[in-house]
Amino acid sequence: MMDNLRTAANSLVLKIVFVIIILSFVLTGVGSYLIGGSSNHVAKVNGTAISQVQLQQAFQQEKQVLQERLGDQFAEIASSEQGMQMLRRQALERLIGVTLLNQYSNQLGLTASDNQVKQDIYNMPIFQTDGHFDSEKYRTILSQHNVNADDLAQEIRQNLINRQLSKMYITDEFVLPEEVKSYAQLLLQQREVKTATLSLANYQSKQTVTDKELQDYYNAHQNSFISPEQVQVSYIKLDAASQRENVAVKDEELKNYYEQNIANFTQPAQKHYSMIQLPTEKEADSVVKSLAGGADFKQLVAEKSTDKFSAANHGALGWMEATSTPSEIIAANLTKKGQISAVIKSASNYIIFRLDDIKPEVVKPFQSVKTEIANTLKNEKAINAFYSLQQTASRAAMDDNESLTAAEKATGIKAVTTGWFSRNNLPEEIRFDKVADTIFNGNLVDKNGPTGINSDVINVDGDRAFVIRVEKYKPQVTQPFDEVKKTVAELVKLNKATKEMEAEGNKLLTALKQGAGEAALAKLGINFGDAKIIERFEQNDVLVEPIFQMPIPKENTPTYFSTKDAKNNLVIIQLIKVTQGQPTDEELKVFSQRYKMILGNVMMESLMLNLRDSAKVDLGRME
């Protein structure tokens, strides 16, 4: 079957069926997500460049999505240079993946029409009011999230294409009913369990410690009781976003950009084709004669065409640009509306094409893209101003190393002075690994304290930079035993309690497996609670995963397992019975779709791995 799928994926019929030309997105301007915006590329994928501008846009989107998902927890990642670099690499990998999929889709002739993209957007609840698409809400949400409409359209278009790719590999015949039933039974499985808990707090409350134990623990773990070196610093913050407020663009600049990039605002000419596919040349010749005699094209499609996909749409293949029109259609050399081709040989079939309609090339008027161009130029100017400000700050800070006064005057930005902090708790605004390294591992402090010099500009995250000097310094010291004695006592008690609890838990588990559990439970003063039915998808229960990993009981003999709960108590689990799920016919339909989706995702992941393995990817420099 897989050989058949691979053959189909490379056949002309599949190419023709799915060739629907990518038009410019109807709601807004020309798609720019994969249009190179700079010769300074960060990667080339089989010769297709990914620019710094594209990466920066994708990186900002990754940040915004992650921030919305994590909320306040995002600050910890954002303050880490390593975290931001990881996010930037993730954005680049996503761009590489999008490029590879686009290239592969083009090879197969797959695409998605503007109407499909538009309908997908119209159907998104986030853009609807009272169940209907709200254009004002759409524009507001995109503006709030700093998402370009063309980028959104490209993302949706790619998702539509991905669905087509999945359908190519996953069909109804691929998924057997028994597989779906087994999958559904497994997911709907229920497990009857009882639990008994050994409380860590109870064990901890019983512990006693001696001064020798405390002193021994302190001596062995002195590195855990170090008061780290601390500093107070002054810094000047340079912010790329603030520079955008100070830049403006003239109409002349906008017009020059429009004229120099007119191709980006041009919709090429398009042609709409239909086809009739026949199994033999004789039958195809007969259809050509019928058409020449005035026979109805659509009626012949319904009666004769062996291609069910195009026949379901009266033979229509959709609108196509010259660059994405299959070679067989090009060979038909159709130039006039209504013109019908001769018989075209394709693999094991014979095809007759008709040119249904023609759309001439359309150039978007300057006024319709003026705002888009202004935003592009403002961003470019803001970035240039940001880098210029960095150079100004760097020169001033180096010329006058006695303070940040000269840098303040040169940049017009007031320096901020912090309180005391260590490497592990930098103030939030300067919480970046690169800043921490400059302060604690650079030349701003030495064994005698602050060196009295200013740092050079420290560029972080691509859109922020700092000039820093250390004002005061406290060296690292080991906290005296008397100061941490109480903390040491709690740690020693916790360690002793955990070891005692785990030792008694192991003995209890062994006794239960040997059939002597009643006495062992009584000795510990605990009992199994009432039986509970556990389902696989119960939320906020850390015991679910270990419960469903336990062996199924045999001959009415329970199985046992021990694990820790959220409070580090030791929980003994008794698995009494396993009941297979009994899905209804409606549930089986749902699970069938879900199962096919899972298989489709697996195959898409395999496809991406194969594409990446065979691709030539040259990585450039990520700023």
Report pLDDT digits (tens) over 395-453: 999 999 889 999 999 999 999 999 999 988 999 999 988 899 999 988 999 888 999 99
Q: What is residue 2's predicted lDDT score, i.e. its pLDDT?
A: 31
State the residue for tokens 């916790």.
494
Assign 3-state DSSP to the chain and report helix, strand, coil percentages, each to 5.
55, 20, 30
% of residues, the chain, pLDDT over 90:
40
- Which tens digits make up the pLDDT trace of 162-218? 777 766 665 554 567 888 888 888 888 999 999 999 999 999 999 999 999 999 999
Q: Give the dihedral sign, CA 195/201/203/205.
A: negative
Geometric angle at alpha carbon 341, from 340 and 347, rounded to 5°:
135
- Taking alpha carbons only, the member of 307, 292, 293, 308 closest to residue 341 is 292
One-letter amino acid for residue 4 of the chain? N
> Using 50, 70 and 90 to split pLDDT, how confident is the model at 38?
very low
One-letter amino acid for residue 60 of the chain? Q
- Taking alpha carbons only, the member of 457, 443, 436, 452 closest to residue 230 is 436
DSSP of 389-432: HHHHHHHHHHH-TT-SHHHHHHHT---EE---EEGGG--GGG--
- Which tens digits make up the pLDDT trace of 229-260? 999 999 999 988 788 778 888 999 999 989 98
Q: Is 617 helix (H, G, I), strand (E, B) or coil?
A: strand
Task: Quote the tokens at residue 189.
Answer: 């499985």
**Least confidently predicted of 10-24, 103-117, 292-306:** 10-24
For 468, residues 6+ apart whose C-beta sits below 8 A from its C-beta are 233, 234, 235, 430, 435, 438, 439, 444, 454, 455, 458
| Residue 393 near residue 408 (C-beta atoms within 8 A) | no
CB burial of residue 320 (10 Å; 0-12, 13-18, 19+): buried
One-letter amino acid for residue 412 of the chain? G
- Which tens digits make up the pLDDT trace of 272-310? 999 999 999 999 999 999 999 999 999 999 999 988 777
3-state secondary structure 303-358: HHCCCHHHHCCCCEEEEEEHHHCCHHHHHHCCCCCCCECCCEEECCEEEEEEEEEE
Cβ count within 10 A of residue 20: 22
Task: Quote the tokens at residue 7.
Answer: 């053959």
- Which tens digits make up the pLDDT trace of 456-502? 999 887 678 999 999 999 998 999 999 999 999 999 999 999 999 99
Cβ count within 10 A of residue 383: 19
Task: Quote the tokens at residue 83.
Answer: 């975290």
Antiparallel, parallel or unpaired: β 316-321 and 270-278: antiparallel
Residue 98: pLDDT above 70?
yes
Q: Is 246 helix (H, G, I), strand (E, B) or coil?
A: coil
What residues does 320 pair with on adjacent strands? 271
Q: Is 618 left (phi over 0), alpha (psi -120 to 50) or beta?
A: beta
Strand ranges of the sheet holding 316-321, from the earlier edge strand across to the other edge: 316-321, 270-278, 349-359, 344-346
One-letter amino acid for residue 173 of the chain? E
Geometric angle at alpha carbon 436, from 430 and 438, rounded to 5°:
110
